[in-house]
A and B are shown apart, each in its own frame.
Chain A
């Protein structure tokens, strides 16, 4: 090997030559990195000049592949549920945003802006939430424990009270809820250690830490939320016709089946209002049985109405009333209505309140129901405290208090039965309202579990009270309330979230309710309410459930560091190969005596 013509440089690394001829002098002029790149460009030049099609074969596919989309693999994929987003009577509530693609931090970190703040329910407090929002965080993810009933009472209570406040604040930032599992917990603890240690280490440690720490990138898979157009809220009605004449009085039993909570997909609404619906179905079953026998077929019409949109100011009831009273010629509601009984949150508690907007006058059917309720409670269930709560309808409020007020506005005598003394109770609109707890998770005998839930024995006791009182108003016979039936219906109802935005007219909930009513009642009909186009009373938004991906990432400095290390490694390798001859001669010298002896 010799010099190239022009004396540009000399190739070294003559280790192959050394194998066969030991006496050749080795040229060892080191080349610089720049010259190496010169060489690289020369090679590419040769390639271009010598074979043109090769460039196409090599480069065009490379460019095409470069712009192709990228499939993703994540460290952990989990489902997240978005906070409510809706407009009611023109007023927007909840979070306005759905997409996020930001790095994860916990509240203890110093810099929160444009990051996704992760909090656990156990450590949640309103101040931390507000702190995150004040520092313009990119998103908030709240991790809920798997076993909600194991949380202490005060945390559950505090969260229930905070839910309406979180919704009342109009946030631009997406707020998500996720159910905790081991992976998520480990992600949280890793993020916590890296966030909280930011201020407490020495400079060198911080540098090392930022260069090598694991970060997490939270990305949601869906699109931005937009208003769902033409969402129909379904309500169901069914009737049992009385015997004995044309103009029979009608008793209406009403319960709303939808639920409300801070996140629609997590609103299971066991007590409010799963208990009300199951009691209505049980009453329907009872009275249907009674009405099949001539002996017990009474002279009252019974109208059962399962309404949707109850948590959004009773939209279903409102439209049903308008249709029946304004747009139809004859309807049961226009003639003789004895009273309307609304059932709302009856699955627990040891007291019953009958909420009225006008105290009933003596001699009216409402008065007799009130009296019968008092009698039944006093004689058969003395542990229950029964009382009447009088609250006038306040039309200036944005939301009506109870469902009976809708009927009261249309001058129909109505009341609501509930175990809650006030409509403002946080239990009526909380995600903590779930079916029940297993006995093994109770802290001690006799201590109630945290959060609202349904106690089926109390629900069936309440159902017995109502059925008995109703039966005494209609006639003097009683049928028994079946606890298993109630339990089965409550189980089914509370197994899925029934937020008004999630139950559309084809949903299985509505069709199952329809089927169920159809087994006992005649003339089961559906009734729809859609928001008015020009001045909508309610607007719902979609993108309520998302899949969020957490990607394990390394900070950008890590890439640079890695590049430096690789460059150093390559440099060393290059030097090693260049000076391979040296290495080889050293090895030969070591093994030389042995060869000579041979």
Chain B
């Protein structure tokens, strides 16, 4: 409800990213620019997804109560592009070994944070009116960070050729969950 409140939400949303960046040792590797590149890839992937959705999926004109399962299912399938994007970042981008995951996930999550959460916070949290949803939004961004790190790790595991066979199934299931998370919820 004032600049102070905006500062609170901003701190709640951004500081965990900052802390993660610092403590996971990424700064040692000067991975800042790599993170930014990962963020740019995120933007590109989102743009492609939006174009694809807009071109191939007409607006749903059914009744208010019915839920278009098939349509929503197809839309969620497009979220596979997210996984491909992460994989792209990790394979092309850099990083020695396992740092790839952190770099990709940090860059991806930060780009998502800036793009999708900054503007509502700026416009809404600075107003006189108070609403709990801004704190919720900032907290949600923390959860997204963890989610993206996990997603990047699972994608990486999926592409390792020396993964034991018994792990294949749970990994695949986890990947599917990531993609259809919005659909299932």
Contacts and interface: CB of A to CB of B under 8 A. Distances in A.
Contacts of B24: 13, 15-16, 577
B2 interface: yes
Interface in B96-150: 97-99, 102, 122-124, 126-131, 135
Interface in B1-52: 1-2, 4-5, 7-8, 11-12, 15-16, 18-20, 22-25, 27-28, 32
Contacts, number: 88
A569 B130 contact: no
B167 to A, nearest CB: 11
Contacts of B124: 73
Nearest to A40: B18
Contacts of A36: 22
B1 A553 contact: yes
A43 interface: yes
Contacts of A551: 1, 127-130
Q: Which residue, of B2, B23, B122, has the highest number of chain A Cβ atoms within 10 A?
A: B23
A578 B122 contact: no
Q: Which size bracket describes the interface of A in this complex? A: 35 or more
Contacts of A12: 23
A378 interface: no
Given A14-B25, A43-B27, A71-B123, A577 B4 contact: no
A209 interface: no
Contact of B22 (A19, A39, A75): A39
Contacts of B135: 562
Contacts of B8: 559, 562-563, 566
B98 A19 contact: yes
B128 A72 contact: yes
Interface in A512-565: 551-554, 556, 559, 562-563
Contact of A574 (B19, B126, B129, B130): B19
Interface in A1-40: 1, 11-16, 19-20, 36, 39-40
B127 A554 contact: no
Given A12-B23, A16-B98, A19-B98, A559 B127 contact: no
A71 B123 CA distance: 8
Q: Which residue, of A1, A12, A553, has the highest number of chain B Cβ atoms within 10 A?
A: A553
Contacts of A570: 11-12, 15-16, 19
B97 to A, nearest CB: 8
A219 interface: yes
A74 interface: yes
B11 A72 contact: no
21 contacts: A1-B25, A11-B28, A12-B23, A13-B23, A16-B98, A16-B102, A70-B127, A71-B123, A72-B128, A73-B127, A74-B128, A74-B129, A551-B1, A551-B128, A551-B130, A552-B130, A552-B131, A566-B12, A570-B19, A573-B16, A577-B19
Interface of B: 1-2, 4-5, 7-8, 11-12, 15-16, 18-20, 22-25, 27-28, 32, 97-99, 102, 122-124, 126-131, 135
Interface of A: 1, 11-16, 19-20, 36, 39-40, 43, 65, 70-75, 214, 217, 219, 551-554, 556, 559, 562-563, 566-567, 569-570, 573-574, 577-578
Given A73-B127, A559-B8, A562-B5, 11 more contacts: A13-B24, A72-B128, A75-B129, A551-B127, A551-B130, A553-B1, A559-B1, A559-B5, A563-B4, A567-B11, A570-B11
